[in-house]
Amino acid sequence: MHEVFLDTETTGLSYRDGHKIVEIACIETLDLIPTGNIFHKLINPKRSIPEEAFKVHGFSEEFLRDKVTFDKIADEFLDFIKEKKIIIHNASFDLGFLDGELNSIKKEKMNKKLVIDSLEVARNKFPGVSNSLDALCRKFNIDLSRRDKHNALLDCELLREVYINMLDVREPKFNLSINSLDQNIISTKEYNKKILPISEKEIKKHKEFKKNELKKNFY
């Protein structure tokens, strides 16, 4: 199953208080590796932007005036996330706004069964400390230099890195520079080493290990 890392920026703290979404971003991954598919929209909330919200994300009412409204991008958004696992940091916040916006145009609410709240994951792993996205990035030495203001697309990228670290899953890294070719090429001597056959018992144990680890880490 594909995953989607999702984040929103808004005009305030609660849809019930009349606040709206001004930015929505999604990054699609497969086994936590980006596929290259991205959904990113700036949205005209059709209302004023409080100064407090402007200080957070930097989107002014004037800047958003010519952007699309949520109803114009709803179907594209729903198609993008359809049948994918959705990973959100502090999911109740974003889901509250998304459900409110979808309900206002008579669309079905988000499927909560597909949502993973990475904040809850963090609280279970690191109880009693701050588990904000910033705090987790600092914990895992993830570069925050680009995050002078909140940005939904950048926050999705940061959240993916945080989530990988929380699951202790490492991405493969390859050094393909010309100067390091001698380190990357396996010698003929190593290739000629005797390869021992794998027994059926070992194959069975490996399959069981993979199944249990995937279930524990991803589901």
Q: What are residue 29's DSSP bridge partners?
A: 3, 34
Which residue from 118, 110, 105 is spatially nearest to 81, judged by alpha carbons? 110
Amino acid at 106: K
Of the residues 19, 89, 150, 206, which is catalytic?
150
- The gap from C-alpha 155 to its chain's centroid, in whole angstroms, comes to 8
Tell me the chain's radius of gyration from C-alpha atoms.
22
How many C-beta atoms lie closer than 10 Å to residue 55's C-beta?
Answer: 10
Tokens of 34: 């980006």
**Which residue is listed with tokens 């940091």?**
89
Which residue from 9, 7, 219 is spatially nearest to 114, judged by alpha carbons? 219
Examine the residue annotation and report whether 57 is marked as an active-site residue of this protein: no
Which residue from 17, 21, 19, 18 is spatially nearest to 8, judged by alpha carbons? 21
Amino acid at 16: R
Show which residues are catalytic: 150
